[in-house]
Amino acid sequence: MMDRNDPRLTAYALGEMDAAERAAFEKAIESDPAARAEVDAIRALGGKLAAEFAGAPAPALTDEQRASVRKAAARKRVPLAILLMPVAACLFAAVALMWDRPPPAVGAPDVRAREAELTLERSEAEEKRARDSSFAALAGGRRLNDDAESDPAGAPGFRGPNGTVPPGVRQPQSEVQSDFVPPQIKLVGVDEDAEAPLFGPATPAAPPSAGVAQVMVLDSWAKKLGEESALEVARYKEAYERLLRETESREGYDRIRENPFVRVAEEDSSTFSIDVDTASYSNVRRFLLRENRLPPPDAVRIEEMVNYFSYAYEPPAAGSPDPFRIHIEVAQCPWETSHRLARVAIKGKVIDHRERPASNLVFLVDVSGSMDQPDKLPLVQASLRLLAENLGEKDRVAIVVYAGAAGLVLPSTGDKRQVIEAIERLRAGGSTAGAAGIQLAYETAAASFLKEGTNRVILCTDGDFNVGISDDGSLTRFIEEKAKTGVFLSVLGFGTGNYQDGKMQQLADKGNGNHAYIDSILEARKVLLEEMSGTLVTIAKDVKIQVFFNPRRVAGFRLIGYENRMLRKQDFNDDTKDAGEIGAGHSVTALYELVLLGSEVPAAPPVDENPFVAKATATVDSDALFQLRLRYKEPDGDASKLLESMVRDDGKGFDGASPDFRWAGAVAAFGMALRDAKTLGLDAILEIAKGTAGDDTYRNEFLKLVETAKLLRR
């Protein structure tokens, strides 16, 4: 196993090896996951530092901090250079990554000369502080032509509506007017005469985005230094961990208030909109497997974790008038054996990808400054290339970008080569006019509308809308209106640090689409290739489920998950109420925990009467647990259709339930555990999951999530 301090790791991550060295090194780390993870951490840290401190001012020391520095300088300490070596290494990595750009065009300003001029402009005091301390932070860089409206010659096909080159489009180097100016290195809060670290227990003047990697580095150094020095390093580690928590708080998650148990005597029905989103699961996986920490409770949506996996549900028979088949199963509840667990599932009809209708797609790509990180725009490009390479001859693609303004990068075309070349030329920079981009994307989709095909905007972003129509209400109303025209919206989330999960989920819901979080190219393959038909082809919209419980059998119930999909009883028959969509081949699973009679249970438009308590009950099955009712509309329809089914309980135990039932129960229990709800222990969840995972790749990956959570809980 390679030493984490091996300098070749940094050289490889920063692209400083020649071809022969790189090939030999890649072979050396091929079977070393820890080394590969270290390389990814170095790359990610450099990108985050560059984005985090673009244009950031350098804060000054407070009087209290200065006093703390002088007091600390009087104590015997580890040499400052030793303690600050990992920090300097991280900063060097970030600067090197920002320097790693193509050379400027002939006739363009020499960026190194420009940097030299900037250096000469520093004051003598700044130079003295730079010599006296090795702790510095990136102050950020800028693009000299960020606001340029010029139209470099020789870039056919890359024009905005007014003929200008749209933001985010990288022109060939022979046409670029100027290149990126590397940031200056500026001192952050350093006393001129101090030889001690700048901060103790107080908040450090250090980059929050360095948190994850820096904590790992400091852990490593603490083991190598003496006891007294290790205590000093521990103070740094504590401060960085605090900064890491502050960084996490910039991500946006809507508050989840778990569904309580409901007494059937007080409320005899449950109504909700179906949901096929999977973003929560892959985001939880990011927290556990990539960042080695437990996710925030509000990032855990149990229904999306359950629905992430495929199940052996039978689709509707050939020739069936309905677009999906209903599957219901009842068994013992694994986390409360006196309760019953009911699974309500539907499976959409399967459409061979070769037989799916033609698609009119618009890739709407966020190229704002916040996307200039390895897990954002570069991953977006790799994901869209994957989709573009696998589209059919009948499919057409247009590309719209948005940053300081929105621009049409590529008009609708069926030429894959043009699409891929346009994707590869995208670059990040600027603010985030998300609303303007959405408006232009819908206009572009409408201009190439396919009456008998699929019309969809695919938005790729970290969700950081901060210019234009940024309030959720205005955006969702706009998207809701556009969905009525037949152009649907899918939202793909990327990146960390400022990931706006709640906003993106809301936009996808109102746009009659789905929301996925792409944390790797493997997840992109799953969403955009393996589930392509479901992602692109909608087979039913406004799908609602309503369950009436038999008060002679059921004392109480609760729906597990779907907290933000709950509907009022009267909404079920109201065709004006928006609900979820289901794509070709999609399956949807919902779980109810039931309290049978004899056990303790921890008004508006016209509503349907409960058939179990209605006056005419002669035809009602008095032994049924509940009646399931489902409404849906055809993709281009306005009136809903109704399906009904009575559900009985054959009394089977959890161990006697189907493998898919037990798997869904284990995933739901794990989601509840991550939310600190009463459920099974992680060992019990792992045992159930291992017994039903089989050789499914995604299910076996889930086992790693549970094992990781066990270790983190300790």
Q: Which domains does the chain have, with CATH numbers?
A: 7-141+184-248 (no CATH), 262-276+287-343+539-713 (no CATH), 359-536 (3.40.50.410)
Residues in the chain, total = 714
Distance CA 659, CA 643 (A): 26
- Give 184 or 228, the one with higher predicted confidence: 228
pLDDT score of 24: 81
Beta strands in 274-420 (DSSP E): 324-332, 340-348, 359-366, 396-402, 406-413
Which sign does the torsion angle of CA 21, 24, 30, 34 carry? negative
Binned at pLDDT 50, 70 and 90, residue 73 comes out as very low
DSSP 276-294: ---HHHHHHHIIIIIS-SP
- When mean pLDDT is compared over 31-35, 50-54, 366-370, 621-625, the highest value belongs to 366-370
> What are the residue ranges of helices labelled H in 100-226?
111-120, 124-132, 211-224
**Three-class SS string for 617-669?**
CCCCCCCCCEEEEEEEECCCCCCCEEEEEEECCCCCCHHHCCHHHHHHHHHHH
Query: What separation in angstroms does the CA of 60 have from each of 91, 191, 246, 526, 677?
Result: 19, 9, 20, 48, 45
- Give 139 or 552, the one with higher predicted confidence: 552
pLDDT at 144 over 60: no
- Picking from 104-108, 224-228, 357-361, which range would have the lowest pLDDT averaged per residue? 104-108
pLDDT at 241 over 80: no
Distance CA 443, CA 428 (A): 23
pLDDT score of 286: 93
Binned at pLDDT 50, 70 and 90, residue 137 comes out as very low
pLDDT at 29 over 90: no
At 669, the amino acid letter reads: A
Dihedral over alpha carbons 272, 278, 284, 285 (to 10 degrees): 150
The number of CA neighbours under 13 Å toward the Cβ of 11 is: 13
Binned at pLDDT 50, 70 and 90, residue 703 comes out as very high
Closest Cα partner for 101 from 180, 11, 18, 46?
180
Beta strands in 140-265 (DSSP E): 142-143, 180-181, 185-187, 262-263
Dihedral over alpha carbons 678, 682, 688, 691 (to 10 degrees): 170
pLDDT in tens, 484-498: 899 999 999 998 888
pLDDT score of 71: 55
Secondary structure letter of residue 565 according to DSSP:
G
Binned at pLDDT 50, 70 and 90, residue 652 comes out as very high
Which sign does the torsion angle of CA 71, 74, 77, 81 carry? positive
Distance CA 595, CA 602 (A): 9
- Picking from 119-128, 257-266, 405-414, 451-460, which range would have the lowest pLDDT averaged per residue? 119-128
Secondary structure letter of residue 65 according to DSSP:
H
Closest Cα partner for 445 from 405, 403, 399?
399
> Residue 206, SS3?
coil
pLDDT at 83 over 60: no
Binned at pLDDT 50, 70 and 90, residue 268 comes out as very high
Q: Which residues contact 675 (CB under 8 A, 6 or more apart)?
A: 256, 258, 297, 300, 302
pLDDT at 120 over 60: no
- Picking from 233-242, 300-309, 323-332, 696-705, which range would have the lowest pLDDT averaged per residue? 233-242
For residue 213 the two structure tokens come to 């990697």
pLDDT at 473 over 70: yes
pLDDT score of 657: 94
pLDDT score of 705: 95
Distance CA 442, CA 514 (A): 17
Distance CA 70, CA 87 (A): 21
pLDDT score of 272: 95
Q: What's the mean pLDDT when you consider all of the chain? A: 75
Distance CA 91, CA 137 (A): 7
pLDDT in tens, 417-431: 999 999 999 988 766
- Give 196 or 71, the one with higher predicted confidence: 71
Distance CA 525, CA 542 (A): 27
For residue 446 the two structure tokens come to 């409408």
Distance CA 540, CA 3 (A): 54
Secondary structure letter of residue 529 according to DSSP:
I
Q: Is 181 exposed, middle or buried (0-12, 13-18, 19+ CB in 10 A)?
A: middle
Binned at pLDDT 50, 70 and 90, residue 91 comes out as very low
- Give 58 or 598, the one with higher predicted confidence: 598
Angle, in degrees to the nearest 10, between helices 697-713 and 682-693: 170
Which conformational region is residue 332 in: left (phi greater than 0), alpha (psi within -120 to 50 degrees), or beta? beta
First to last CA, the chain: 26
- Picking from 113-127, 528-542, 631-645, 656-670, which range would have the lowest pLDDT averaged per residue? 113-127
pTM of the model: 0.60
For residue 118 the two structure tokens come to 């900037």
Q: Are 490 and 514 in contact (CB under 8 A)?
A: yes
- Label residues 276-313 b or e (16+ Cβ within 10 Å = b): bbbbbbbbbbbbbebeebbbbebbbbbbbbbbbbbbeb
Distance CA 300, CA 205 (A): 32
Distance CA 188, CA 207 (A): 10
CB atoms within 10 A of CB 604: 9
Residues 114-122: what's their mean pLDDT? Answer: 44
Binned at pLDDT 50, 70 and 90, residue 111 comes out as very low
